[in-house]
Amino acid sequence: MIREAIKEDALAISEVRIASWRTTYAGIVDPDFLEGMTPEKWAEAWAKGNKKEDSFTYVAREAGSVIGFVIGGLERDKKYPDYPFEIYAIYLLQEHQGKGIGTKLIKRMADSLSGLGVGGVLIWALDENPCSSFYKKLGGQPIDHQSFKIKGRTHPETAYGWKSLKDFRLD
């Protein structure tokens, strides 16, 4: 089941984020950083960002528990005029990946973003992220590159873009 997130989901969202980072980025991101991630910090950050009228969060639930989420809204840097929307984060617990849940979350997000207007959407992903193929499978094309620092180590990342919300391959 996918539904809009509510404030009571904040801790569960942050726990999914941390668990996903720890499985996805093990051996890539500094282990001290991964171990130092705390649910309370991420829950507080999500709660602050969730108050914006131009952003959306949806959770995927199974057996009463949050197993994944997607957050998106207007493109944060205002530097990509052809891509006015951005998916800020999408995470699923590892044991629920590859089952079509991520695609359902993206579809729900695309439907909500379309209510804000027309245009393209982008998402940033670390190049070392083994799940980046998900964005390519959905039709995302590399549109830009930059670096992201975590604990002093530089990680290259790529922005994947879709020229229109309708360009997602969601079947």
Max distance between CA atoms of the chain, in angstroms, equals 41
Alpha-carbon distance 92 to 66, whole Å?
9
Tell how far CA 109 is from the center of its chain: 10
- The per-residue pLDDT for 71 is 95
Alpha-carbon distance 103 to 107, whole Å?
6
Domains contained in the chain, number = 1
Q: Which two tokens stand for residue 153?
A: 């180590």
Mean pLDDT of the 49-53 span: 70
The string of DSSP codes covering the chain is -EEE--GGGHHHHHHHHHHHHHHHSTTTS-HHHHHH--HHHHHHHHHHHTT-TTEEEEEEEETTEEEEEEEEEE-SS---TT--EEEEEEEE-GGGTTSSHHHHHHHHHHHHHHTT-S--EEEEEETT-TTTHHHHHTT-EEEEEEEEEETTEEEEEEEEEESSGGG----
- The per-residue pLDDT for 53 is 73
Residue 51 has pLDDT above 70, yes or no: no
Residue 158 has pLDDT above 90, yes or no: yes
Residues spanned by the domain of 163: 2-167
CATH number at residue 82: 3.40.630.30
Percent of the chain scored above 70 by pLDDT? 98
* Residue 132: band (very low, low, confident or very high) from pLDDT cuts 50, 70, 90: very high
